[in-house]
Structure 1
């Protein structure tokens, strides 16, 4: 989804910074706001050259005060990931420039190349896309950078979980008790840390949805080192909120079928699945708003709450 016109305008200092990154004779000839992101403003910039041709770049700027405070670390992580990924087989934007402390822009920003493709958030064709998501995540976890990114971060605690209205109180109490336990031991992997359908771009032939293919993975600002289970849990809960709890429960098996390795013990798997499910409880409104802005107008806050409750309850029934 895009917006043209005044709302898409790039702020003056940022515009000047972007212009300095362009080739001689190039200039910005168009901007579009990209929706679907929950943490940063995203704009697609059309760059015109002397020969009349054009190319596209993407500008990511952290403007919300909460995220501005965390932008320096996030943009360093993203820039590091984008510099690592070329030649790995994991398609992602190319890094053009980064200003993590807003030394040159109004807000902390990153400029990158544009990756063809689109988010696909509809239920139709999901059966074919889930194995693709699983294989892509396995490929990400197989990366072995020369320098590891920072350790994963989980901000949710047993005291900050927000139990949805009308939720299964017993299931949620049991789930909260799970994350009171010590963190299980794990084998570290390179994590995207925000891998879900909203950050994966597809090419889907209109006549053959089953022939969908992934064209790229975006939003590497939370790149981390940690357990593969955590990335799988994050994608699982997003699938559950987008498409229903059953899809969230199916994703770990799809990941293993694609060659991924998860924790051997059910209790360890439960810990990570529950931890990320409970983390979503604190962000139901922004999650629902981001999905609606991306075209899923059916996903009201209440619908997302109900799906989250059903998913957490199902995880506890399955693994607890």
Structure 2
């Protein structure tokens, strides 16, 4: 669900067999002249590779490698899906990386890996200027959902079930029991859309320099590992949950409004909207530390696991009040 980076190698070095594979993907005369470990997510090693050419020019690529045993086991599906998804986005106007090469089964690399182009910009996770960024996030998601690919990705998968929901410590048991009962019912019918499936501020890059001289703009949407086909409500729900935990429950509710203001279409019935929204929010209950840790590493030190759990609890209650 959440992001892209574990730094297992502080030096940023790429393992020899992987480096040799990368080198075979480069143009004549090019070579890797620098590597930098990227930080901020939870599922993979990510490195920015600086590629030098004979004429002294450079360009950057990004290397994703799954090293955790769980993700290595699922890497063939995940990396192939991301590479296919990125290829599908080429030429659409969605600012996504372009795939360069993939070794999803680690035939040539030490670990399953995907090589892709590098996008400018950085993630922005602080509260400042959030009011300006939320409509940009919403408009970007509407643009993604408007795409009609000739080849559909696989159907979405739910990330929790009613039987697996474990309320966070201190959560109101009555509220969580009511929320769990909502997702115990069959999923509502929906019109399928192309889903990013992990769309949230940690996977969106902004051009924020120079500061205070221009409005923020989105320069990239990354981490397409979970690309799926399903209801627009589910992508909106996921971004809403993240905004609620990052910035407070009111921002989780605000994002759905911004999505509709941008021309997006959500389920017509309140109970259907509630179902999708809770299906996503409740999936975070058992893994709050997973998402909170990279936020703290990115500078949000106040977002302790307990603080984020309290926001998630308040957001679930707010959803039931607003849509229940």
Map of 1:28 onto structure 2: 32
Give the counterpart of 1:268 among 263, 272, 276: 272
Map of 1:109 onto structure 2: 113
Aligned length: 320
Unaligned ranges ≥5, structure 2:
none
Q: How much has 1:135 moved relative to structure 2? A: 0.2
Map of 1:238 onto structure 2: 242
Map of 1:155 onto structure 2: 159
For residues 121 and 26 of structure 2, the distance between their equivalents in structure 1, rounded to whole angstroms, comes to: 23
For residues 236 and 147 of structure 1, the distance between their equivalents in structure 2, rounded to whole angstroms, comes to: 28
Q: How much has 1:210 moved relative to structure 2? A: 6.4
**Match runs of 1:198-277 below 5 Å:** 198-208=202-212, 211-277=215-281
For residues 156 and 10 of structure 2, the distance between their equivalents in structure 1, rounded to whole angstroms, comes to: 38
Which secondary structure state, in structure 1, belongs to the residue aligned with residue 164 of structure 2?
coil
Map of 2:295 onto structure 1: 291
Cα separation, partners in 2 of 1:209 and 1:265, compared to 1, 3 Å? farther
Determine whether 1:140 maps to 2:144. yes
TM-score by length of 2: 0.95
Task: Please give the per-residue CA displacement for 1:215-248, whole angstroms capped at 9, x wherever unaligned.
Answer: 0100001000000000000000000111111100
TM-score by length of 1: 0.97
Q: How much has 1:307 moved relative to structure 2? A: 0.8
For residues 257 and 209 of structure 1, the distance between their equivalents in structure 2, rounded to whole angstroms, comes to: 26
For residues 122 and 295 of structure 2, the distance between their equivalents in structure 1, rounded to whole angstroms, comes to: 14
Q: How much has 1:209 moved relative to structure 2? A: 6.9
Q: How much has 1:295 moved relative to structure 2? A: 2.4
Give the counterpart of 2:46 among 42, 49, 55: 42
Q: How much has 1:294 moved relative to structure 2? A: 2.3
For residues 161 and 113 of structure 1, the distance between their equivalents in structure 2, rounded to whole angstroms, comes to: 38
Determine whether 1:60 maps to 2:67. no
For residues 27 and 207 of structure 1, the distance between their equivalents in structure 2, rounded to whole angstroms, comes to: 34
2:6, 2:42 within 8 Å by CA — same for their partners in 1? Answer: no
Map of 1:85 onto structure 2: 89
2:142, 2:262 within 8 Å by CA — same for their partners in 1? Answer: yes
